[in-house]
Amino acid sequence: MSVVNIAIDGPSGAGKSTISQILATRLGLAYVDTGAIYRAIGLYMMRRGIDCADQEAVLRALPSLEVAVSFQGGRQRTLLGGQDVSKELRRHEVSDCASKVSAMPEVRAHILTLQRGIAAQHSCIVDGRDIGTVVLPQADLKIFLTASPEDRARRRWNELRRRGQRLSYEQVLRDIQERDRRDSERAVAPLKPAEDSLVVDTTGNTLEQSVALLQALLLNRFPAQLKEGKPCP
């Protein structure tokens, strides 16, 4: 099978990671979570006591950063200095730090080669905020996944509660709105749909409804390359 690259972009809390993981497992694709790479960078800065909003300090630390990914059953493991930090990356404070460092052009350039190299070797679903516009502009299919800020905040709030993090819904909504602003207004690779992307709004959907919608779309677009139930690489 020839390599198939599917780019899924969208704002924070749109469900990109969860939906992409499920689709990758069902359709025999590798799942590449680019957000996890940025979170690993944020975690690295936090561990070193660096303010993630301090661009000069972040850039001074960047050359010593060692971040990589590997795959097990199509699922991504994110490595920081050779250590698997995947389970630490969904913490709220790590996500917030990732949003700040990801706005820095030098940080984005630092991992661009890593991202493109993964996609060149694997049939995969790659999710993020600038995959279709910057990282993989030649992706075989580009999807922009979105939902209302309120719906996204509700989903993220429930996720954080399941993880034992006790933030108020109002705080999560404010953070979602602020992250939307930062991501859309940044000078380099701002959050926006690629011109040839399909915009999918999942407001009001259950997770399974959103997965079923995208799964049908992918199977219809790539009937020869994708097959339900195919083992992941």
- 128/137 Cα distance (integer angstroms): 13
Burial of residue 170 (number of CB atoms within 10 Å: 0-12, 13-18, 19+):
exposed
The pLDDT of residue 152 is above 80: yes
The pTM assigned to this predicted structure is 0.80
What confidence tens digit (pLDDT) does each residue in 7-62 have? 999 998 899 989 999 999 899 898 998 889 999 999 999 999 999 999 999 999 99
CATH number, residue 182: 3.40.50.300
Q: How many domains does the chain have?
A: 1
In this structure, are strands 75-80 and 83-84 parallel, antiparallel, or unpaired? Answer: antiparallel
In a domain, 6, yes or no: no
In a domain, 53, yes or no: yes
In a domain, 163, yes or no: yes
The pLDDT of residue 233 is above 60: no
CA 129-123-111 angle, to 5 degrees, is: 40
What confidence tens digit (pLDDT) does each residue in 164-188 have? 888 899 999 999 999 899 888 887 7
In a domain, 90, yes or no: yes
> In the prediction, which pLDDT does 74 show?
67
Residue 165 is which amino acid? Q
In a domain, 222, yes or no: no
Segments forming the whole domain that contains residue 207: 13-215
In a domain, 154, yes or no: yes
In a domain, 5, yes or no: no
Residue 228 region, left (φ>0) first, then alpha (ψ -120 to 50), else beta? beta
CB atoms within 10 A of CB 124: 26
Residue 15's Cβ-side half-sphere holds a number of Cα atoms within 13 Å equal to 27
In a domain, 148, yes or no: yes
